[in-house]
């Protein structure tokens, strides 16, 4: 079933989906990780590729920036394409001085003030949760590979440029970092009884004003993608 934002046929989308914000990053992920991958959507430049990883059928798709964009693409995947699991891989700004650049954060819950939350759940400012099974599986996978990570709650903001004191909010709510898409993904998953998780690499630190170069971001990203694929395909 095609939508205004996705021209793929229903059969072209796998039930397991890995998403990232940047379409070019999705292209790179698909070309480097999927066998026999093919482009199944390019509407508005939001590339989607389907192929196989260790024999399991996987779709990788871009979601753009912010809750409205993530909200559209993840909702359509869950609702119209019968997707069962979505893992978002992306970057995040740390909200604590002691979290180094390049660290990995697995998001158990996302605190948000976004109006997307009010539209679907009428919850106001609140926490929304990842799927517990995916969250625990991700921790086990990182532990097995002896890759260090942080597991906990993050902040999903509607604003990239803001006057809000996000570091102070992070202290008050015990938040590890801030990004812009996890809440919409988790809300859609909860609303449609699906499974979702967010795994991010720390690209900058809001508390210290440090940031990684583009090249450094890609290096840590490869590690996250491999773990995310293992978690997605775990039965």
Q: How far apart are CA 29 and CA 20, in angstroms?
A: 9
Say if residue 144 is exposed, middle or buried (CB neighbours under 10 Å; 0-12, 13-18, 19+): exposed
Q: Which two tokens stand for residue 60?
A: 């990788």
Answer whether 58's CB lies under 8 Å from 14's CB: yes
What 3-state DSSP class applies to 6?
strand
- Give yes or no: 98 in active site: no
Which stretches does DSSP call E strand in the chain?
16-20, 35-41, 48-53, 56-62, 85-94, 104-112, 126-129, 150-156, 175-179, 195-205, 210-211
Q: How many helices (H) and strands (E) does the chain have?
A: 7, 11
Tell me the pairing of strands 16-20 and 85-94.
parallel
Max distance between CA atoms of the chain, in angstroms, equals: 47
From 12, 82, 143, 204, active-site residue:
204
Active site residues: 204
């Amino acid at each position: 079933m095609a939508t205004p934002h996705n021209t793929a046929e229903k059969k072209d989308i796998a039930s397991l989906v890995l998403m990232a914000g940047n379409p070019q990053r999705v292209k790179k992920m698909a070309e480097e990780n999927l066998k026999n991958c093919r482009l199944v959507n390019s509407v508005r430049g939001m590339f989607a590729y389907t192929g196989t990883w260790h024999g399991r059928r996987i779709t990788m798709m871009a979601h753009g920036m912010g809750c409205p964009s993530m909200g559209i693409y993840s909702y359509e995947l869950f609702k119209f394409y019968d997707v069962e699991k979505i893992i978002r891989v992306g970057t995040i700004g740390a909200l604590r001085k002691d979290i180094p650049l390049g660290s990995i954060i697995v998001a158990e819950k996302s605190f948000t003030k976004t109006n997307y939350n009010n539209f679907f759940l009428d919850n106001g400012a609140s926490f929304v949760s990842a799927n517990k099974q995916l969250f625990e599986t991700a921790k086990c996978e990182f532990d097995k590979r002896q890759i260090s990570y942080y597991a906990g709650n993050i902040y999903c903001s509607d604003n990239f440029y803001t006057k809000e004191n996000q570091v102070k909010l992070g202290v008050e709510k015990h938040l590890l970092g801030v990004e812009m898409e996890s809440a919409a993904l988790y809300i859609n998953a909860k609303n449609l009884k699906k499974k979702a998780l967010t795994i991010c690499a720390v690209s900058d630190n809001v508390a210290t004003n440090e940031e990684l170069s583009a090249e450094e971001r890609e290096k840590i990203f490869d590690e996250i993608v491999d773990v995310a694929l293992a978690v997605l395909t775990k039965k």
